[in-house]
Structure 1
Amino acid sequence: MTDYTTTSQGDRVAHDLRGSGPAVVFVTGAGPDRADDPVTTETAQRVADAGLTTVTFDRLGRGESPAEGRLDLDRELAAVAAMIEVAGAPALLVGHSSGCSVSLRAAAAGLPVTGLALWEAPLGDPAAVTQAWTDEIERLLDADDHENAMRHYMKDMPPEWLAGMESSPAWPAIARTVAAYRADAQSLAWAQHALDDGTLDVTVPVLAMYGVETFPEMPVAAASIVATVPQGTEQEMPGAMHTWEPEPMAARLAEFARQCAGQADQVRAG
């Protein structure tokens, strides 16, 4: 059943709360909301069934979390902070795709996070290239050129993904959803700068994962993240086409969440 929480910046966020125990918050990437993301929903239910608290939510401007204006990274971080409180702070963040960079930024910003489980972070281009890509997306969004903003956002993705969207009669409406991707682009630019500069200030445990069948840059990105943080683990998992298989993923997340919660308890105890 959907619940709603208002963030510190006044945005209303739709979410589902499941289970009890150590907290796990799922941070999706650009595009999906709960209604069209059955893999995350099933995984969250399995993790809850394993004795943890899980939260899935519609990110700002998506699904049942409509939001107007400039949907930047600060507003998105306020939404993540609100979801951590709903789950019961502190929480493990599970980032998917650009949700990885949002999660990294949340941890670096000091949100109450026990650890990060990251699935296929789309990082690896030089920081200057990623920043130029982000700047162009923001320029197009500021000009209300949503169709070209969406095309530019997806320019390095498999071309058939964009072709399928453009062939839909709903393409103009689909393109307008790119307004919600500003935070994703900003977070990716921030994360790439931090990786390149060695300034990624994330001290909690990080599990960087990728699928058995994936794009070649995904294992490289995972290795780069692990090499930059003090407590990093890289792991290949069952999965393909940029997503995971729910059953093994849920088992690994439950194990990692308990590990991170136990370590956090030890730190608090001194």
Structure 2
Amino acid sequence: MPTVTSADGTQIAYSRTGSGPALVLVDGALCYRTSTPNDDLAKALSDRFTVYTFDRRGRGESGDTGPYEVEREIEDIAALAKEAGGEISVYGISSGAALVLEAVHRGVPVKKLAVYEPPFVVDSTRKRVPAGYQAKLEAAIAAGKPGGAIKTFMVEGVGLPALMVLMMRLMPAWPRMKRVAHTLAYDAQVMDDNQAGRPLPDGRWSGITAPALILDGGKSPAWMRNGVAAAAAQLPHAAYRTLPGQTHLVKTAALAPVLAEFFATT
């Protein structure tokens, strides 16, 4: 298992496949290698790129040196970029999309970046994420209740009905999610105050100068698409594109050709 050493000494596990320019894929909440749609995406892109997938800190085979700060995850991506030869292209989905935006804004050097549906809540088209959301996640983990943290995330963070979450406990994926439930509080910190039902502040990612592709799905809810459009409007060199028929659970067959075209274009 290859690893890179982040700035604070944490070992970050990664996989590499394919050949060509370096492309790093960043997971969203509860995902890690062997339990992520990014594994299929890496395979689909490996004929044109050297694709790196990795376990975000606290997940899979990566370490989890505390205390957590968003800057530590940015350093993880920077360490992986150095391993990949320096300047990379990068793609992130969901909270991983928000992390990518923050990493590039804070100076991780990239040729291009693409993000799919960072879950920003910027208006009243859905209930805002409660102010005490992160603290509630941390309290559930501290009490030894990872299932409770997942329920809080699914109901208050994602907006799913509680009954649906109750049924999810019977699914094979539930034990895998429980193993990384403590990182939900990390994702809450990554999202910052951008799920509070208010417009994104002007200049929020003013440090991003690289070409960017901001994506959403045509069947995603209005609140999600409104947040994605608002993020695209904040970036001076961003193209905004909707994938017809797609939701937050975007299909690799719809996404991979779009990413391949964007990252391959000089």
* Same topology, TM > 0.5: yes
Partner of 1:102: 99
- Structure 2 residue 193 is matched with structure 1 residue 187: no
Deviation string 1:9-61 (CA, Å, 9 cap, x unpaired) is 11111111122332211111011112122x322221222202x2211111111
CA–CA separation in structure 1 for the residues paired with 2:111 and 2:94: 20
Contact 2:138 2:182 (C-alpha < 8 Å) held by counterparts = no
Contact 1:60 1:71 (C-alpha < 8 Å) held by counterparts = no
Partner of 2:200: 196
State the Cα distance separating 1:256 from its structure 2 match. Answer: 1.3
- Structure 2 residue 27 is matched with structure 1 residue 25: no
State TM-score, norm by structure 2.
Answer: 0.82
Partner of 1:267: none
State the Cα distance separating 1:170 from its structure 2 match. Answer: 9.1
Matched residue type, 1:237: L
Partner of 1:73: 70
Q: Aligned ranges for residues 73-222 of structure 1 at < 5 Å?
A: 73-125=70-122, 132-138=132-138, 140-141=140-141, 146-155=146-155, 156-159=158-161, 162-167=165-170, 174-175=177-178, 177-189=180-192, 191=194, 196-200=200-204, 201=206, 202-222=208-228
Paired positions, count: 256
State the Cα distance separating 1:166 from its structure 2 match. Answer: 3.4
- SS state at 1:198 partner: coil
Deviation string 1:93-122 (CA, Å, 9 cap, x unpaired) is 211111111111101111112222111111
Report the structure, 1 or 2, having the larger helix content.
Answer: 1
- SS state at 2:190 partner: helix
Contact 2:129 2:195 (C-alpha < 8 Å) held by counterparts = no
Identity %: 30
Deviation string 1:71-93 (CA, Å, 9 cap, x unpaired) is 43222212111222223321222
Gaps of 5+ in 1: 263-270
- What is the aligned-residue RMSD (CA, Å)? 2.9
Contact 1:4 1:13 (C-alpha < 8 Å) held by counterparts = yes
Moved more, 112-121 or 163-172: 163-172
Matched residue type, 2:183: A
CA–CA separation in structure 1 for the residues paired with 2:39 and 2:82: 20
- Structure 2 residue 13 is matched with structure 1 residue 14: yes
Partner of 1:36: 35
CA–CA separation in structure 1 for the residues paired with 2:32 and 2:165: 18
Matched residue type, 1:45: K
State TM-score, norm by structure 1.
Answer: 0.81
Matched residue type, 1:152: T
Contact 2:119 2:228 (C-alpha < 8 Å) held by counterparts = no
Question: In the superposition, relative to structure 1, how do residues 169 and 213 fare at CA in structure 2: closer, same or farther (>3 Å)?
Answer: closer
Matched residue type, 2:80: M
Moved more, 87-96 or 238-247: 238-247
Contact 1:101 1:184 (C-alpha < 8 Å) held by counterparts = no
CA–CA separation in structure 2 for the residues paired with 1:234 and 1:93: 16
